[in-house]
Amino acid sequence: MKYTITPGFHLTLPEKCGVYLYRDKDDNIIYIGKAKNLKKRISTYFYNNRQHTSKIKRMVHAARTVELRFTASELEALLVEARLIRRHLPLYNRALRNYKAYPFIVLRTDLPYPYLEISRDAVISGALYFGPYRKAHWLYPAVDALNNWLKLRRCAGPLPHHSCLYADLKQCMAPCVDSALDVQYASHVQKAIDVLESSPAMQTELERLRDVSAAELRFEEAQEWQWLIDLARYNGRIKRSVARHHALVISADPEVGCIGLVIVHGRLIATLKTDCLTEANTADMLVKARALYEQAKGTMDAPTVEEVDEMLIIASWLENHADTLTVYPLDVSVPV
């Protein structure tokens, strides 16, 4: 739905959730935004404009029409906005004009004697993925700290049949030369999972180890414990590894209505809507969501660059709205 920008036009806009696209005199898209209430948001561009930045003033001056695209939820509007910005690269949108593949921490549980790696590539069946991480500068020292502590193997691929420099330097348990370490190695892998899945007990233990190291003036060691604490806290915000993130998230917003967001592998695959949040309606949405999950699980390809960006948007939105959301697991064997 497209509107010509004329005096007072914003007063006639619908109060719906969605995305808006400003176009110039040549019909080029110059700005894309989103809002829970399109009428309220767009109206802010056309009154009290003394508070606007020079960039917004230039954009409003150049705009001739605004196109509205409605969505069923605020989260869907966020995702549509991101997709449109990547596709059209509008002049006045900066945040998403440049993007890249975001890294994951991968625990290679698909192989004997799992090991950790940082990857931006395809999803490997059977491996556990944690992330994605928008800022990677602290990721490498955090993984190094995890390896230094747990002595997991660092050789990629199948287990070799001989020891390496890491084993000689006592930086690896060397399961390649001592199969008697199976149980101990498995317990260390579980500790890595506890860190990466932000186990409260593990966070408490890491904080204790950090404080002991600091009290004994071993500050470099204390810094390594802090890397692991920061990693656990970040992953706590992400909530779960991508491989296990399957949930129906119900949001009741007075401006949008009652929405059920079906999330599988960290990705939004469907949006369900109901007039009011009753026990019967919730049960109905859960049945539909679990049916969608059964259809989708195991069939989703490796996340593209765009999907990883959307996974970050979803994780951030869930974190920021945690107090107002109700979450139901779709895979009943894995708590959400």
pLDDT in tens, 169-216: 778 888 887 777 888 999 999 999 999 988 999 999 999 999 999 999
284, pLDDT greater than 90: yes
pLDDT of residue 277: 78
**Window from 166-175, 279-288, 305-314 with minimum mean pLDDT:** 305-314
Give dist(CA 15, CA 163) in Å, integer.
66
Exposure string of 226-259, with b = 16+ CB inside 10 Å and e = fewer, is bbbbebbebbeebbbbbbbbbbbbbbeeeebbbb
Higher pLDDT residue, 260 or 50? 260
**Window from 111-125, 186-200, 270-284 with minimum mean pLDDT:** 111-125
pLDDT of residue 238: 63
Angstrom CA distances, 334 to 65, 178, 212, 312, 327, stand at: 48, 33, 34, 21, 13
| The dihedral sign for the CA sequence 171, 225, 150, 196 | negative
pLDDT of residue 335: 44
Give dist(CA 146, CA 227) in Å, integer.
9
pLDDT of residue 98: 45
Higher pLDDT residue, 130 or 143? 143
Instruction: Using pLDDT thresholds of 50, 70 and 90, give the confidence band for residue 155.
Output: confident
Q: Using alpha carbons, select from 1, 118, 117, 10 the residue that is nearest to residue 68.
A: 1
User: How high is the mean pLDDT of the chain?
Assistant: 84
Using a 10 angstrom Cβ sphere, with 0-12 exposed, 13-18 middle and 19 or more buried, the burial of residue 100 is exposed
Mean pLDDT of 164-170: 77
pTM across the whole model:
0.59
Give dist(CA 95, CA 45) in Å, integer.
19
Mean pLDDT of 222-230: 93
Residue-wise pLDDT tens digits, 53-110: 888 999 999 999 999 999 878 888 998 998 899 889 999 987 554 445 568 889 999 8
Dump strand ranges (E) for the chain. 2-4, 18-23, 29-35, 65-70, 104-107, 116-119, 128-130, 246-253, 257-264, 267-274, 325-329
Count helices and strands in the chain by DSSP H and E runs: 10, 11
Percent of the chain with pLDDT over 90: 41
pLDDT of residue 137: 79
Q: DSSP labels for 299-335?
A: T--PPPHHHHHHHHHHHHHHHHTGGGEEEEESSTTS-
40, pLDDT greater than 70: yes
pLDDT of residue 267: 84
